[in-house]
């Protein structure tokens, strides 16, 4: 069996608009966990388009990375969007307003 090689170096993440984008199952995290907040995107439903599964309804949350806050107080903004692009676009705007442009 052929060994599969990764194009990414250890510790290097996919980036969108200069910030890391990491996926774990149906949850994506956008932003740097060492900054004061990140975006969490949760894919709620999927639909089939041209034989492939595509995100349909996506829950977007701007969350604080301050672990001393109770979970309910860590949510700074939230919304439900149709499509992953729309959700990521809104999330990137929220994050830029909160943190400023990515370096």
Q: Which of 51, 96, 49, 58 is nearest to 78 (CA)?
A: 58
Q: Which residues neighbour 43 within 8 Å (Cβ) at sequence distance 6 or greater?
A: 26, 27, 28, 55, 57, 58, 84
Contact 34, 20 (CB under 8 A): no
Read off the tokens for 35.
């900054």
- Residue 55 vs residue 102, higher pLDDT: 55
- Residue 102 vs residue 40, higher pLDDT: 40
Query: Model confidence over 11-40: pLDDT tens digits?
Result: 677 898 889 999 999 999 999 989 999 999
Contact 39, 95 (CB under 8 A): yes
pLDDT at site 57: 96
On the question of pLDDT at 3 being above 60, the answer is no
Residue 10 confidence class, pLDDT cut points 50, 70, 90: low
């Amino acid at each position: 069996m052929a060994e599969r090689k990764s194009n990414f170096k250890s510790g290097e993440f996919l980036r969108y608009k200069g910030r890391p984008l990491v996926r774990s199952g149906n949850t994506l995290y956008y932003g740097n966990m060492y900054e004061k907040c990140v975006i969490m995107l949760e894919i709620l439903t999927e639909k089939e388009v041209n034989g492939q599964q595509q995100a349909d309804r996506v829950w977007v949350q701007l969350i604080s990375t301050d672990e001393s806050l109770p979970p309910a107080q860590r949510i700074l903004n939230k919304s439900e969007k149709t499509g992953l692009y729309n959700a990521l676009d809104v999330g990137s705007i929220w994050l830029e307003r909160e943190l400023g442009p990515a370096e």
